[in-house]
Amino acid sequence: MFDRIARRYDLLNSLMTFGRDRGWRQRAVSLAGPRPGARILDVGTGTGALALDFARATRETTIVGVDFSAAMLSRALRTVPTELSASRVRFVRGDGMRLPCADSSFDHVVSAFAVRNMSSLAGAFAEQARVLRVGGRLTCLELVPTGLPVFRHLFRQYFHRWVPLLGGWIAGDPTAYTYLPRSVDAFPTPAEVARLLREVGLVDARFEVLALGTVALHTAVKR
């Protein structure tokens, strides 16, 4: 599915979120606050938007973006500015449920709108915890099943009616954009996500909600 929508993915993201998705990723970068020299892993990197935001906003960091969609990765490679490619940003094809990375090899593991699509959320977080070094930080941006109560009805209408239409018109793939609201509905609340992060052994699990309660930014630390 992600291979099919890769070509129009960034455009649709901007349209669906009215351009706000860039601000959410930038907030994730500033909350993670990597130090110079940090090693950062972006799981489910897609077209590399979050990986590149980290690269631009930080100094001397190295960033690896992992994704299992070859079409998404090939778009990511095309968007990396030459001065960043190879030396600081790399993209690797791999499964977020079985990361092709050694234990304790990253200072930061980050993801944006990716873990919702994985076969087990607890399994994905456990895998991310495995590759974090002790004291390393997990940062996860995800959608929230229900927005603030007053907007709930409006968001449901928007997600279930307009998003599939937009996906049909622009990506030519209404199925993928019908899957999107369903995957959000099936996703746990931010409090439940924080509980899962603790269950996989991470500490200091916190979250903040953005975009009128429709997006959550989670952080947790490896003990």
Contact footprint for ligand SAM (CB under 6 A) = 2, 44-46, 49-50, 67-69, 72, 95-97, 112-114, 117-118
Query: Closer to ligand SAM at the Cβ: 9 or 155?
Result: 9
Query: Residue 103 CB, nearest distance to ligand SAM (Å)?
Result: 18
CA dist 167 and 173 (Å) reads 6
Query: Residue 148 CB, nearest distance to ligand SAM (Å)?
Result: 23
Query: Residue 45 CB, nearest distance to ligand SAM (Å)?
Result: 5
Query: Residue 2 CB, nearest distance to ligand SAM (Å)?
Result: 4
Query: Closer to ligand SAM at the Cβ: 91 or 207?
Result: 91
CA 15 to chain centre: 18
Q: Please identify the residue of the shown chain whose CB is closest to the bound ligand SAM.
A: 46
Query: Closer to ligand SAM at the Cβ: 30 or 134?
Result: 30
Query: Closer to ligand SAM at the Cβ: 97 or 209?
Result: 97
The contacts of residue 209 (CB under 8 Å, 6+ apart) are 144, 190, 215, 216, 217
Query: Residue 28 CB, nearest distance to ligand SAM (Å)?
Result: 9
Query: Closer to ligand SAM at the Cβ: 95 or 152?
Result: 95
Query: Closer to ligand SAM at the Cβ: 26 or 105?
Result: 26
Cα torsion 98, 100, 102, 107 to 10°: value is: -90
Query: Residue 112 CB, nearest distance to ligand SAM (Å)?
Result: 3
